[in-house]
Structure 1
Amino acid sequence: MGIDEIISVVPYDKQWTILFQNERVNLFKAFKDDAIDIQHFGSTSVQGMFAKPIVDILIGVKTLDLKNSVANNLIQLGYEGFGEMDGTGRLYFRKRQEHAYNLAVVIWNSEQWINNLLIRDYLRNNPHIAQQYSERKLKAITKGYTALLSYSDEKADYVSNILEQAKKSGRYNYKK
C-alpha cells in the first residue's frame, strides 16, 4: 500500500486518548530503551477538535537508526514502515487495523519534536484557534481534498501559521 490514502475528518472522540495510552504501553515495549518519550500529538490529542480518526503518536529517540529488533517489534504490532519522509528527520510508520495509528519517530528534543508539541499545546490552550483549524479541515474535505497528501498540502500553510503563533506567544518553552 502506498503512503497516500483516502481520509475523512470526524468530530472529536474521547476514546482517542484511551487508544493512545494503550498503544503507548505497546510501543514502549517495542522500543525498549530506545524510546526516550512517547507523546500523543496531532488533532486527536486536542479535545474538541475535528480530526482524521487516526491517533498520531510522536516517539522521541536518540537516533533514527532503529535496531532491527525495534523494526521487527513494530511489524509484530501491525505497523508498516515508510522510512524517512522527504529528508525531514522523521521516520513514518502506520497501522491500519480496528484502530488506526500514525507514528512519527524523531530525535528527542529536536526541532521536529519541539514543533509538534508546540502546535499541540497551543491548540489545547486556545480553543478558538482549534475551532478555526477544525473548520479549515472540514472545508478542505468539502473542497475535495480527500486524499492524504492533497489534504496535507491544502492545510500546510495554515499549520505553519499556527506554529509561528505558538512560537510568538512565548508561553510554550521547550528547550533543547
Structure 2
Amino acid sequence: IAIVLLGEPISWESSLQVITDLLLTDGNPLVVPVDTSVNRSHIPVIACNRDLVFKAAADLPRFGHGAFLTCLEALYKNLSGNDLIYKAFVGKPFEISFQYAEIVANKLALAKGQQKIDKIYFIGDNPDVDIVGANMYNSLLQQDVDARKSISGFDLITDPTHLTATSCQSILVCTGVYDP
C-alpha cells in the first residue's frame, strides 16, 4: 500500500480527508487509527513537484501541487504530531525527474543512430523549480557516479546505463511563471 500524489485534486477537502485517513490508519480507514502519541512511520507517500503556484489566465498566480502538499503536511502534523515523510519526490525540481528525462533522451538518440547525450539543456519558465532543478542536477553530474545513485527515488530507475550526461545547462525563458 502506498499513496502516489501526481497533481492537485479538484476537491481538496475530500482528498485531504481520505489521504489523512489512510496515513493515520496505515492504509485501512475502516479500523481505529494507530497510536499517534509516539513518533512512528506511515505508509509510503510519493509525490510529484512542489510548485507552490503556477501561471494561468488569471492575473495572480494559481495554487499548484505544492500548496496542496503544504496543506496535507500541516494537517498530518496537527493530527498525528509527526512530520509527513515522503518516500520520494518526482517531478521538477527533483533530480530523479532529470535522470528519467536523460534516460528517455538517450534512448531516443540511440534509436535514431545518434550518440549518447553528453550535455543537457533544460529550458524552463520558473526560476524556483525549473532552473533550481536543472542547476541541482548539474551539481549532481559534477560528482562521482556513486552520488548519482544516492538521490531520493533512484531505486525507481530501471536502466541507469543510459545516464551519460556530464553537464546540464539551465535556460530561463519569460513565457510563463517568470515575468521580469
TM-score w.r.t. the length of structure 2 is: 0.23
Larger Rg: 2
Which structure features the higher share of helix residues?
Answer: 1
Which structure features the higher share of strand residues?
Answer: 1
Higher relative contact order (CA 8 A, sep 6+): 1
